[in-house]
Amino acid sequence: MKKLLQALFSMSADTMSPAKRWTALGVLSLSLFVVTMDMMILLMALPKLIIDLSPTTAQQLWIVDVYSLILAGLLIPMSALADRWGRKKLLLTGFFIFSVASVLVLFVTTANHVIALRALLGLAGAMIMPTTLSMIRTIFSNPKERATALAIWASIASLGAIAGPVGGGLLLEHFSWHSVFIINAPFALFAVIAGLFLLPEARSTQPPRWDMLATILSIGGMSTLVWSIKHFAKEGWDDTTALIVFAISALLLIGFVVRCLRQAKPMLDVRLFKRRPIAAGAITAFFSMFAMTGIMLLIAQWLQVVLEWSPLKAGIATLPTAVGALLFTPLAPAIAARIGARTVLASGLAMAGIGFLYIFLFGHPLTYGVLVPALVLIGISTASLAVASSLIMSSTPQDKAGNSAAIEESMYDLGNVFGVAVIGSIAAAFYRQYLDIASFAGQGISGALADQANKSIVDALAVSAQTGVFDLATKATSAFDDSILGIGLVGGIILVTIAIIVFALIPKGLDITSQRHD
CA distances in angstroms from 414 to 71, 76, 146, listed in the order given = 10, 13, 25
pLDDT of residue 104: 93
CA distances in angstroms from 440 to 287, 428, 467, 481, listed in the order given = 38, 18, 12, 19
Q: What is the mean pLDDT of the chain?
A: 84
Q: How confident is the model at residue 2 (pLDDT cuts 50, 70, 90)?
A: low
Q: How confident is the model at residue 234 (pLDDT cuts 50, 70, 90)?
A: confident
Please check whether residue 483 is in contact with residue 430, taking contact to mean a CB–CB distance below 8 angstroms: yes
Please check whether residue 203 is in contact with residue 82, taking contact to mean a CB–CB distance below 8 angstroms: yes
**Listed residue (429, 431, 424, 427) closest to 479, CA to CA:** 431
* 376: three-class secondary structure by DSSP: helix
Q: Per-residue pLDDT averaged across 23-44, rounded?
A: 77
pLDDT of residue 10: 63
Share of the chain above pLDDT 90, in %: 25
CA distances in angstroms from 214 to 68, 70, 267, 400, listed in the order given = 20, 16, 7, 17
**Listed residue (34, 66, 128, 22) closest to 406, CA to CA:** 128
Upstream peptide bond of 365 is cis (omega within 30 degrees of 0): yes
* Signed CA dihedral, 56, 61, 67, 71: sign only: negative
The rounded distance, in Å, linking the Cα atoms of 160 and 132 is 15
Which of 3-17, 113-127, 218-232, 390-404: highest mean pLDDT?
113-127
CA distances in angstroms from 398 to 130, 253, 373, listed in the order given = 14, 26, 40
Task: Give me the amino acid identity at 148.
Answer: T
pLDDT of residue 518: 47
The rounded distance, in Å, linking the Cα atoms of 103 and 98 is 9
Q: Per-residue pLDDT averaged across 504-514, rounded?
A: 75
Q: How confident is the model at residue 390 (pLDDT cuts 50, 70, 90)?
A: confident
Measure the N-to-C terminal CA separation of the chain; round to a whole number of Å.
45
The rounded distance, in Å, linking the Cα atoms of 98 and 94 is 6
| pTM, to two decimals | 0.81
The full DSSP string for 83-152 is HHH-HHHHHHHHHHHHHHHHHHGGG--SHHHHHHHHHHHHHHHHHHHHHHHHHHHHH--SHHHHHHHHHH
Task: Give me the amino acid identity at 361.
Answer: L
Q: Per-residue pLDDT averaged across 198-216, rounded?
A: 81
Q: Per-residue pLDDT averaged across 238-263, rounded?
A: 92
**Listed residue (126, 99, 44, 512) closest to 300, CA to CA:** 44
Q: 275-518 architecture in CATH?
A: Up-down Bundle (1.20)
What digits encode the pLDDT tens for the residues 297-353?
789 889 988 998 887 788 788 888 888 887 888 788 888 888 888 898 899 999 999
Q: 1-9+16-207 architecture in CATH?
A: Up-down Bundle (1.20)
The rounded distance, in Å, linking the Cα atoms of 324 and 106 is 37
